[in-house]
Amino acid sequence: MNITKENALHEILEQFNQMVESVQNQLDLLEKIIHIGGTAIPEMLLFEVDSNELKIDVFERDISEKIIDMIVLQSPVASDLRKIMAIYQMVSNLERIGDQIKNVVKLLPRIDDVEVYAYMSNIILSMVMSSNIMVRKAVSSFINNDNESAIWTIKNDDVIDEINHKLIKDTIMKNKYSEKTQHLLFTFINLNSIISNIERIADHATNIAEASIYSIKGDDLRHLKHNEKSQNKGVPE
């Protein structure tokens, strides 16, 4: 690899690491917001979320352009091409994680029934914390060339999905607010949207882990997962 290619790849990796840091800061902020409790978000935290979101969007645009330029102008060898394509996939998923966090922050103040939210907030916090760990492990697997961390992340995606479904089911079964049907309806709709966005964060972490495995070993797990799902269709539980 000549010095020009090395510089181009170094710039991409440097900006990628900065984007990762911004997304991780955003996840930490979301944890803090949920941990505080209640649906009113302090102005300072809202400002930080908005600032981080702008940074993440700029990183996504700049890194994508640098990757395209490197492919067109530098003709990277196969191993480098695989690495930058993995980064391209990760950057897209990191940007979507940022969008999901922003969606959760927007939805929180719309919750009508604060009592119901208080009952569910600990489980929501647990989901956010689990998703945060998944994102960190997925990215770390790529940076540290650690295939096992990537596999761990993919396996733990199902855990987040189970928490999501159990949360909705338990809340409906235990709710004692039948006289507030209208408020409950809006609350459940908004809470479900929040939970779905958090679940998608875990999904994006899985996508990042798959891109990491592709970069390390050249294995594309997306097709493997698709084939497994196809084989399992129609199989009785």
Say which CATH superfamily domain 3-232 falls into.
Phosphate transport system protein phou homolog 2; domain 2 (1.20.58.220)
**Residue for token pair 């840091």:** 21
Q: What pLDDT sits at residue 55?
A: 96
Tell me the whole-structure pTM to 2 decimals: 0.74
pLDDT of 223 strictly over 70: no
The domain limits of the chain are 3-232
Alpha-carbon distance of 32 to 161, in angstroms, equals 22
Q: What pLDDT sits at residue 90?
A: 92
Give mean pLDDT, residues 23-47.
93
pLDDT by residue (tens digit) across 141-172?
888 888 888 888 877 777 776 776 666 566 65
Q: What pLDDT sits at residue 219?
A: 64
CA torsion, points 26, 95, 193, 44, in degrees to nearest 10? Answer: 30
The tokens describing 66, both together, are: 């640098």
pLDDT of 70 strictly over 80: yes
